[in-house]
Amino acid sequence: MESLQGLLLAMIIVAFGTTTHLTQAQSDTTEFTSLDCGLHPAASPYTEPLTKLTYTSDANFTLGGQSGRVQKIYEEEYKPFTVLRYFPDGIRNCYNLKVTSGTKYLIKALFLYGNYDGLETAPKFDMYLGPNIWTTVDLKSSLGQGKEEIIHIPKSSSLEICLVKTGKTTPIISALELRPLRDDTYVTTNGSLKLLKRSYASDFLGPTIRYPADVYDREWEQLSLSFAFNFVNTSLNVNASTPYELPQEVISKAVINKNVTETLTYEWIMDEREDQALIYLHFAEIQSLRGNDTREFDITWKGMDENFTVSAYRPQKLQLETLYNTSPMKCRFLGCTVELVMTQNSTLPPMVNAMEAYKIIEFPDAETNPEAVAAVQNVRDAYELSRIDWQGDPCVPQMFKWEGINCSYTNTTIPPRIISLDLSSSGLEGVIASSIQNLTHLQELDLSNNNLSGEVPAFLANMESLLIINLGWNSLTGPIPQALRDREKKGLKLTFHGNPNLCLSDSCNNNKKKVLVPVIASVASVVALIALLALFFVFRKKAPLSEGTAATRELPRKSSIYSKKKRFTYSEVVELTDNFKTVLGEGGFGVVYHGSLSDTEPVAVKVLSESSVQGYKEFKAEVELLLRVHHINLVSLVGYCDEGGHLALIYEYMANGDLKQHLSGEAAGSTLKWASRLKIAVEAAQASVAAHSGDCFSPLRQHFLGSNHSPCRLIIDANSSRSVHSPNRANVAFSQHRYDFMSIGLEYLHVGCEPPMVHRDVKSTNILLDDRFEAKLADFGLSRSFCVGAETQVATVVAGTPGYLDPEYYQTNWLNEKSDVYSFGIVLMEIITNRSVIELTREKAHIAEWVKILISRGDLEKIVDSNLGGDYDSNTVWKILELAMSCVSHSSSDRPTMSRVVNVLKECLISENSRIGGQSQDGDSKNSLELTVDFGTQVTPDAR
């Protein structure tokens, strides 16, 4: 303990004897940041009358939010902060402030509700510093007023302060202030310091002391008055030339006990048992001591595990000294206590002038690599993207990761890197931004379905980490750089379809060298045109329009995996799985292993176990289906093994597991947002309209099906809303109406295939998510086809998963496509509720019956997954509930078709995206939509 005392006092002496560079001069406020939040730019800047500080509008520091004004009855009390900024849109809204990396800042945030919205409901929300939570602001429990303060050292030149919506109320902020501090004050080796209390001794009530009296604009409040205290002061000047530099108004006053023999005690309350505190005590002897007078006392910081003591301390005459516990302490029963006890040598009681208490907040999550952040921000600025969710740190926390961005996460101490950027269908115009090349760890780049022009830049070939580039369906021109072509030969996946003016051959570079006589060129052009027209009419007479014609142009694929279907030997399976080293999962068929066709193309390998009860029949059924269908939202079959009793299926690898894992929290990462859940639901039920029949007569297909088996194809009505525009049409139509180019995934099996197929095992664990979180339906071992195209149902042995199994099919053994509709309705309920399908402990064990009861009570909040934090449009949720309940009707005739299911899902997804984008108006409450449920007979909404 003596060594601790010596260390603490030594630190104080060193502080007094060191001249440390001040961040700013005593009266210089040029490095202060003072934002009046919600202030109109036309009224900015202004000088605050009491502090004489200059405040500016926050309009240029945040992308979102709207301006509000407190009600008139609060204006006088709140001056000058009578306006505020509130954030009705999005979950996370951030302020981006320029700071000096490594500089210590005092950060203050002010919140004045003032019933600006007339709802008389003060908000509650979270605040983050970068990727880490700072505090929870609860204005409900503080009479609509709040202030938060922290001492923090930014690690980069940009500081993100974010307000995060956690419930139904809307985050607000009135003022935001940054003040640089000296680097030798408020020292902590772990974490930042959140202010609990800052007080000084005063025997009268007066205004809070702050700037200009305090050069750092700390705000000092009077110590709570007590009949046990005596207050003393001096008119003499106290030397405050120490790193902490307290105002004269603070250090010239002190408090002592009236009863000189009693202990002088101060307490602060902590939030949590594990919280750690630093408590600073500021001393100066301001009384004139007589010849025999002595003021000496022991100081003890009482912790949960041990105490910290300074013995026989004597304050210096008219000289500021600051003492604090150099090691953070946990407090007993949430109460931090400091005791000042008079020693036997003392004739005067203990005294103290001012005190500060702080809670240590550790910020464990590292910010995204600053170079990557700067690069993606430059991309955002180059294309003038105004996405509401592109605020704050791009990668962390993962629950708020920017849409379209994937990152690498090693551990919390290593800054994440951006490894995937998806800006497809984002309305991008102009050339490909050069700032993309500064994303040095980028592995995937998707700029498809935009209006990009100009040439393909050569710098893309120099981005060594890139594995996939999708530039399809833009207006790019000129040749593709040879360096990119060379990279493509080494495994780079490059997609460029849909750029009619992009030159794909080596002859591009030679055309400039050829100078032809204009007349000859004209004649040649006319001859060529006539020849093409002649060929067109000849072939048109000979062959009808089919899937291979220009009217059904192929949409760009994100992978070349489809072209690699083949039969593998068992030794090849052993090799590509590294002797079955890594297990991904296990089911009734057997074990699924991780494999790799190359260093850049992972696969999943399902190997039939000897004890499998499903066996070769299910193996053949799955191969048969996956060879017939070619659908972007069905898991693709890469190949198979059928050798000497060894059966294996090789699939494309789905990096993000299944939907169930992400709903239940088993998968790492954040809770799926409502929009993401809707997107997955849509993708699980729809796919690209392109029909790829070229593989139908491959040797692999013939091995199982025979050459005469009818391929699965999708018929396209050229006059319908799903008709595909010819390549020379403007790309804008595809960008704006991309859902019109979608067909239905399950309906594709039900109707688009000849003969039709029923999956029979639709469930959340069979909806897999790839590295882009795009959903694909998997596991077709139980799938069955109708023998005759005109049949609507077929008799078969009942198979499926309990809870998802169609009760009509279970009772009658008659299977039809509405059996899949029932299962999909159960999946929709899982997406909404995040509850188990069968749960014996609740009021009704089966999820459909349980939801029905809550619907009858109108209790939407108990139905919807609480992890969503209320971030959804209640009208949209009710609409999906209507859809789900109609899907699970006991009679298949009362269920909608998959066409109807997808149409409703698409409408809801578009509505949700509009809400997130701030384009939708405030939704009605749940009372605006009533749901009439006759479970088993009818599920229909009342008139809206």
Go through the chain and tell me how many residues it has. Answer: 944
* 761 is known as an active-site residue: yes
Q: Could you give the CA distance from residue 940 to residue 934 in angstroms, rounded to a whole number?
A: 9
Structure tokens at 316: 């210096």
Q: Which residues contact 144 (CB under 8 A, 6 or more apart)?
A: 112, 113, 114, 115, 122
Q: Please choose, from the candidates 353, 325, 350, 354, the residue with its C-alpha nearest in 3D space to the C-alpha of residue 340.
A: 350
Using alpha carbons only, what angle is made at residue 593 by residues 591 and 598, rounded to the nearest 5 degrees?
155
Backbone angles phi, psi at 71, to 5 degrees: -65, 155
Q: Is 708 exposed, middle or buried (0-12, 13-18, 19+ CB in 10 A)?
A: exposed
- The DSSP line for 735-790 is HHTGGGGEEEHHHIIIIISSS-EE-S---GGGEEE-TT--EEE---TT-EE-SSTT
Strand partners, 888: none
Q: Is 1 exposed, middle or buried (0-12, 13-18, 19+ CB in 10 A)?
A: exposed
> How many other C-beta atoms can be found within 10 angstroms of the C-beta atom of residue 455?
15
Both tokens assigned to 442: 């980028």
Which pairing describes strands 451-455 and 475-479: parallel, antiparallel, or unpaired? Answer: parallel
Catalytic residue among 217, 642, 761, 873: 761
Closest C-alpha to 634, from 550, 791, 753, 788:
753
Q: Which residues of 715-724 are buried (b: 16+ CB within 10 A; e: fewer)?
A: ebeeeeebeb
Q: Hey, what amino acid is at 918?
A: G
Exposed, middle or buried by CB within 10 Å (0-12, 13-18, 19+), for 522? exposed
| 3-state helix/strand/coil string of 556-607 | CCCCCHHHHCEECCHHHHHHHCCCCCCEEEECCCEEEEEEEEECCEEEEEEE
Cα–Cα distance between 552 and 461 in angstroms, integer?
A: 31
SS3 (DSSP) at 728: coil
Could you tell me the two tokens for 176? 């935001």
b/e sequence 353-370, b meaning 16+ C-beta within 10 Å: bbbbbbbbbebebbbbbe
Spatial contact of 297 and 279, defined as CB atoms under 8 Å apart: no
CA dist 894 and 822 (Å) reads 11
Q: How far apart are CA 152 and CA 191, in angstroms?
A: 8
Is 168 annotated to bind a ligand? Reply is no
CB 567 within 8 A of CB 642: yes
Kindly report the backbone phi and psi dihedral angles of residue 578, in degrees, each rounded to the nearest multiple of 5, phi listed first: 55, 50
Q: Rounded to the nearest 10 degrees, how much is the dihedral formed by the CA atoms of 457, 461, 466, 470?
A: 40
For the annotated binding site for ATP, the residues are 606
**Binding-site residues, please?**
606
Which residues are known catalytic residues? 761
